[in-house]
Structure 1
């Protein structure tokens, strides 16, 4: 039997037995090596705030439709930061994939079957550390936000939220030639952002962010602001922080009514453009060249080249059976962790001496 993580009800989770899959023709079997927890999206399901739980999504019209059929609990094997090793194939022509490691999206489960055509472009290079593959999709989400931001050399960029995607966004914006300021409530996250190359880090609990950024930019404000925290309060301050006739990219997964927004203030008077950034698509003027797969490949290539530091974002590597405890920690004490990785016991994920916790709560 295999094992899979299940959201059973709000703030109730468990790991359950599932049938082991077998590959058919043109398919391969992947034994999961590692699975990263997305502390933004996945916590919306854990907490019960995800809109899919209460409202039906019409994919054809791209509308949440009242009165439709929402997706109720349980949610099994939800997640999108997986890495696995090919342990079986359904066709002889795919035997060259045996033993290779690939990244992808199949949720927190011990094994999965995927088409060989899906796996081939996601194979990690020989010698690459498997754990880096958990950043493929969250890295694409971050790069998509930077592409939507249209960052230019010499610009001042402010990133709200220094969780995993925010830390990646800050590094990518700096690679684009920007001077980056990071905003977060958690001191350890601000310190890490500075260590990874941010020029400044602000605490929104004690700093007036809009005032501080104007003081550092000859009263101009930020050329572009990227909101990654999913907080309406942060989005409001992002609007205040942006320069006249500038852009705010809203990439965090905002939940519920936006009562903190004051759209008659700086948004209206400063002609601020708020651009939604979501991994379902790329900016229209880039769609002919960029795709989600290319964005993931670009992020992983930058890591291999030493220009993007990802493993330093990992704070916990825990046994996959401890996943319910990991979610409880992320829910109740989000400041205690950054990237949590579930270990399926098939590889040594981190180098000896790596500064990660091996159990929740230690």
Structure 2
């Protein structure tokens, strides 16, 4: 039976909570962490759910964050340093128990590591609207990445759009694309099981061998060399390929021969750490976060969460979720 986690809190004083640490390659543990006092403008949040960002956290879990990226990869409120030990994560949803009177009792999202309670400045919290359940709200960071990707891509109505890679990010990118009037959207993935979810979310599906050609825009989110090759092959003349995968360490071969140059293709990066240049003069991080959260008010998106894990069971369960052969989509920790 899982142990019950009972942090102790006293007004105006430091307290303790339980936090999840990545302590060695493919090993994690729950340890006591110190929670600072609630200062002016701070909020004490009791975590309800947190999401495992599988692509990034798998690299952290396996110790594959390149030394050159140790500083850029730091998550907000991260404790420790890469490679180990490090307390990492950025998809926490909880209930405000202390802080400014007008926010107490509200459900909020925060880019915070997996932890039973935490203190964060109010301006770092995004209030979860009533139309979005707390469990689904853990997808906000992924939705923000998908939204930023569309801004980087300059996607538009009636575009023929191909998304290669049917993980959570790829599915959200395709879901946003399918909401644009007249857009012809196809998800490409090696797993035929993604076809049912694609249909439920309102877009087409194809295996790599049957991927559409002559796309106006291609998003690549499979984090694999074969997926990148599929994305390049699907792009039409002078089309843009938006690379969303982050590979960590290693070299990724890209087939830049053949028709790559004669088709005058573009490969561009997209990364959520900065607001897209197309919006940066008017949008700040808070506005983008609120927009992403509002987009989650669609109950069909619950299908992207395929496993719940009790927080106390995380050290035993996460190695399976973060293994190469796990076939789920999003896993969430329940507190």
TM-score in terms of structure 2 length: 0.86
Contact 1:82 1:106 in 2 (8 A): yes
Q: Does the Cα contact within 8 Å between 1:139 and 1:295 map onto a contact in 2? A: no
What is the deviation of 1:58? 6.5
SS at the partner of 2:44?
strand
Distance in 1, matches of 2:124 and 2:249, equals: 35
Task: For 2:301 and 2:289, locate their aligned partners in 1 and report how far apart those are by CA, in whole Å.
Answer: 13
Q: Shift of residue 125 of structure 1?
A: 2.9
Change (3 A) 1:242 1:126: closer
- For the pair 1:282 / 2:275, whether they are aligned, the reply is yes
Aligned match of 1:137 in 138, 141, 146?
141
Q: How many pairs are equivalent? A: 312
**Aligned-partner Cα distance in 1 for 2:130–2:71:** 41
Tell me the SS of whatever aligns to 1:108.
coil
Alignment pair present for 1:330 and 2:327: no
CA 108–44 in structure 1, closer or farther in 2 if over 3 Å, else same: same
Deviation at 1:300, TM superposition (A): 2.5
Deviation track 1:316-338 (CA, whole Å, cap 9, x = no partner) reads 12101222333212233644311
For 1:249 and 1:28, locate their aligned partners in 2 and report how far apart those are by CA, in whole Å: 37
Tell me if 1:74 matches 2:74: no
- Residue 80 of structure 1 aligns to a residue in which SS? coil
Distance 1:47 1:71, change over 3 A: closer
Measured in 1, the distance between the counterparts of 2:132 and 2:186 equals 31
**Residue of 313, 318, 341 corresponding to 2:304:** 313
Give the match for residue 43 of structure 2: 28
Cα deviation, 1:153-173, whole Å, max 9, x if unaligned, reads: 211111011111111111100
Displacement after TM superposition at 1:301 (Å): 1.9
- The superposition leaves residues 167-196 of structure 1 with CA deviations (integer Å, 9 ceiling, x where unpaired) of 111110011231111111222223211221
**Superposition deviation, residue 341 in structure 1:** 0.8
TM-score, structure 1 as length reference: 0.80
**Whole-angstrom distance in 2 between the partners of 1:125 and 1:144:** 21
Which residue does the alignment assign to 1:354? none
**Counterpart-to-counterpart distance in 2, 1:285 and 1:49:** 32
Q: Does 1:268 align with 2:279?
A: no
Aligned to 1:114: 120
Q: Check conservation: 1:81, 1:104, Cα contact below 8 A.
A: yes
- 2:198 is the alignment partner of 1:183: no
Deviation of the 1:72 alpha carbon: 3.1
In structure 1, runs of 5+ residues without a counterpart are: 63-69, 215-220, 345-362
User: What is the match of residue 102 of structure 2?
Assistant: 96
* Distance in 2 of aligned mates of 1:57 and 1:110: 25
Quote the Cα distance in structure 2 between the aligned partners of 1:141 and 1:170.
12
Q: Which residue, out of 250, 256, 260, partners 2:243?
A: 250
Unmatched 5+ stretches in structure 2: 1-15, 74-80
1:208-245 Cα offsets, whole Å, 9 max, x none, are 53xxx13xxxxxx1110001122222112211210011
Give, in angstroms, the shift of residue 266 of structure 1.
3.0
Contact 2:275-2:284 within 8 A present in 1 as well: yes
After superposition, the Cα gap between the structure-2 partners of 1:196 and 1:56, relative to the gap in structure 1 and judged at 3 Å, is: closer
CA–CA separation in structure 1 for the residues paired with 2:275 and 2:40: 33
1:46 aligns with 2:73: no
- Greater share of residues in helix: 1
Q: Which residue of 2 aligns with 1:105?
A: 111
1:163 paired residue among 167, 191, 195: 167
Look up the SS of the partner of 1:13 in the other structure: strand
Structure 1: which 4+ aligned runs deviate by more than 4 Å? 56-59
Taking a change above 3 Å as real, the CA distance of residues 259 and 82 of structure 1, as seen in their structure-2 partners, is: closer
CA shift, 1:116, in A, is 2.2
